[in-house]
Copies of this chain bind each other. A is one copy, B any other.
Amino acid sequence: KKLVIAVVQDKDSSRLSDALVKQNLRATKLASTGSFLKSGNTTFMIGVEEDRVDSVLKLIQDNCRSRKQIMSPITSMGTNAEGYVPYPVEVEVGGATVFVLPVDQFLQF
């Protein structure tokens, strides 16, 4: 078993969830926040047999889109310059950030 952890945009969360269910892939969702844009996103935890990891990755790729998001001036603490951005700035947010973790044991009670 492997544990796939995928951070996706909220807009794609239902579509990805339904696509996983249709392929009988089980998953758990957590509400999360990006540290740069400080806006909400969704973290999926998907426990899957090693031989189905590639089909989970393809499913994530097919159902999660990259989009431009406006970074509002008040949250732009993270700039290297004076510390704030006077104008709204457009940031390209990717479709998914994915980690595949090794699993020592998997159990269901």
Contacts and interface: CB of A to CB of B under 8 A. Distances in A.
Oligomer copy total: 3
Interface string A79-109: 0100000000000001111111111111111
A14 to B, nearest CB: 8
A60 B109 contact: yes
Contact of A100 (B31, B78, B99, B104): B104
Nearest to A20: B35
Nearest to A96: B109
A103 B100 contact: yes
A29 B30 CA distance: 10
A26 B31 contact: no
Contacts of A70: none
A30 B31 contact: yes
Contacts of A97: 26, 28, 47, 107-108
A99 B47 contact: yes
Q: Lowest 3 A-B CB distances belong to which pairs?
A: A21-B78, A100-B105, A27-B35
